């Protein structure tokens, strides 16, 4: 069905997985470099040998959305912020090898010491959501808010899934970073500082938190499109809004639909729908449970044996959870294969290449944030860390 060598029980559990294709799915890009062949049967042993040779000098971080072939070599697995924190907690490791995407490696560089070097095995591993808010676009938005006299009462809040430049802007303007776990706390903090919020770059997390968790209405939210003059909004709409949402989204979580939720309930009336808050508002409203990646993992750990779950998040994680909890029926909430294509650029050949480069005394693909940007970004991150 999927091309994976899954046990029959797991194939049954992954109910809707891979039944179709989507020509509009996000694509990765070519990445130059001499890499081991993906079919090389010695890759696992080469990775083990290189990691052993490096010892405590290297610390490997693996995001939950990574392939299993990469996760097996991670010293720590987690979401983006947890991994950045873990990197900062290992000052003895000279090299932080981050198996994630570019903005995550930037955050690790901001939080780690000057003596440490953060490495991204493939520089093409980016994030389409983070790329939807550039520094120049956000500066233009801020100028729009200044022109109509509301910037001084607006607090910028950026999701962790944003570039260092955006985190730096937010820190400079007195704002805060949030994760999908603490978005509500961050927004409540922001409203203690000002009258309205500019929320970057994921419209869905901002909207879902405001409406579902904080009791605001959809009318309190406006959507700023950086590709249109004044964001495509009137001055009055900007003045009246409680939150100005940036027109950005996750290319994976944005694919889940209300129609698929309804189809899953027809197939299995007992199913529990569990989705990430980066999903569209109508999907979140129709779900039974909504939460971050860590929340999703803990919910399935605590679920009753025999219970049925349809999960709206990245496919690598759903597959891993289905294998981890074979006593539960775990389905994927989409009809088509839905990997994060840029996250999946970090594969075993790239990991082996990066490790063997370090063994050879060469440091590849270092991620460095300039000191000024890093300083402001650290202010925004520290405000988040200080949340109650």
The annotation status of 276 as a binding-site residue, yes or no, is yes
Place of tokens 């990574």: 66
φ and ψ at residue 329, rounded to 5 degrees: -90, 105
The annotation status of 180 as a binding-site residue, yes or no, is yes
The annotation status of 9 as a binding-site residue, yes or no, is no
The annotation status of 250 as a binding-site residue, yes or no, is yes
The annotation status of 277 as a binding-site residue, yes or no, is yes
The annotation status of 340 as a binding-site residue, yes or no, is yes
The annotation status of 159 as a binding-site residue, yes or no, is yes
Decide if 216 contacts 242 (C-beta within 8 A).
Answer: yes
The annotation status of 127 as a binding-site residue, yes or no, is yes
Task: Give dist(CA 195, CA 177) in Å, integer.
Answer: 18
The 3-class SS string of the chain reads CCCCCCCHHHHHHCCCCCCECCCCCCCCCCCCCCCCCCCCCCHHHHHHHHHHHHHHHEEEEEECCCCHHHHCCCCEEECHHHHHHHHHCCCCCCEEEEECCHHHHHHHHHHCCCCCEEECCCCCCCCHHHHCCCHHHHHHHHHHHHHCCCHHHEEEEEECCCCHHHHHHHHHCCCEEECCCCHHHHHHHHHHHCCEEEEECCHHHHHHHHHHHCCCCHHHEEEECCCCHHHHCCHHHHHHCCEEEECCCCCCHHHCCHHHHHHHHHHCCCCEEEECCCCCHHHHHHCCEECCHHHHHHHHHHCCCCCEEEEECCHHHHHHHHHHCCCCEEEECCCECCCCCCHHHCCHHHHHHHHHHHHCCCCCCEECCCHHHHHHHHHHHHHHHCCC
The annotation status of 278 as a binding-site residue, yes or no, is yes
Binding residues for iminosuccinate: 63, 80, 159-161, 180, 276-278, 293
Binding residues: 63, 80, 127, 159-161, 180, 250, 276-278, 293, 340
Binding residues for [4Fe-4S] cluster: 127, 250, 340
């Amino acid at each position: 069905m999927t091309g994976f060598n899954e046990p029959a029980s797991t194939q049954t559990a992954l109910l809707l997985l891979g039944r179709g294709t989507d020509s509009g799915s996000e694509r990765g890009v070519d990445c130059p470099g001499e890499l081991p062949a993906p079919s090389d049967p010695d890759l696992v042993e080469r990775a083990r040998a290189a990691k052993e040779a490096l010892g405590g000098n290297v610390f490997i971080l693996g995001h939950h959305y990574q392939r299993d072939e990469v996760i097996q070599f991670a010293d720590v697995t987690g979401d983006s912020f947890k991994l950045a924190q873990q990197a900062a907690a290992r000052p003895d490791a000279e090299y932080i090898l981050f198996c994630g995407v570019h903005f995550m490696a930037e955050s690790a560089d901001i939080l780690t010491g000057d003596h440490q070097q953060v490495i991204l095995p493939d520089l093409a591993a980016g994030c389409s959501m983070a790329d939807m808010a550039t520094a120049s676009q956000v500066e233009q938005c801020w100028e729009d808010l200044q022109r109509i006299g509301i910037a001084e009462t607006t607090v910028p809040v950026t999701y962790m899934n944003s570039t260092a430049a955006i985190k730096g802007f937010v820190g400079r303007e007195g704002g805060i970073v949030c994760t999908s776990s603490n978005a509500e706390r961050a927004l409540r903090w922001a409203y203690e500082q000002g009258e309205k919020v500019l929320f970057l770059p994921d419209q869905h997390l901002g909207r879902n938190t405001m409406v579902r968790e904080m009791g605001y209405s959809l009318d309190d939210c406006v959507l700023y499109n950086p590709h249109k003059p004044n964001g495509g909004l009137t001055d009055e709409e900007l003045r009246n809004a409680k939150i100005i949402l940036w027109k950005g989204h996750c290319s994976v979580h944005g694919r889940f639909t209300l129609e698929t939720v309804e189809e899953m309930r027809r197939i299995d009336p007992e199913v529990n729908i569990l989705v990430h808050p980066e999903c569209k508002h109508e999907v979140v409203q129709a779900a039974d449970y909504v939460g971050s990646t860590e929340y999703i993992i803990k919910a399935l750990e605590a679920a009753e044996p025999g219970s049925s779950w349809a999960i709206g998040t990245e496919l690598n994680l759903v597959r891993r959870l289905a294998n981890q909890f074979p006593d539960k029926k775990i389905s994927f909430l989409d009809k088509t294969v839905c990997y994060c294509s840029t996250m999946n650029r970090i594969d075993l050949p790239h990991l082996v290449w990066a490790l063997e480069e370090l063994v050879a005394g060469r440091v590849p693909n270092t991620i460095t944030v300039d000191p000024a940007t890093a300083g402001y970004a650290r202010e925004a991150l520290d405000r988040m860390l200080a949340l109650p």
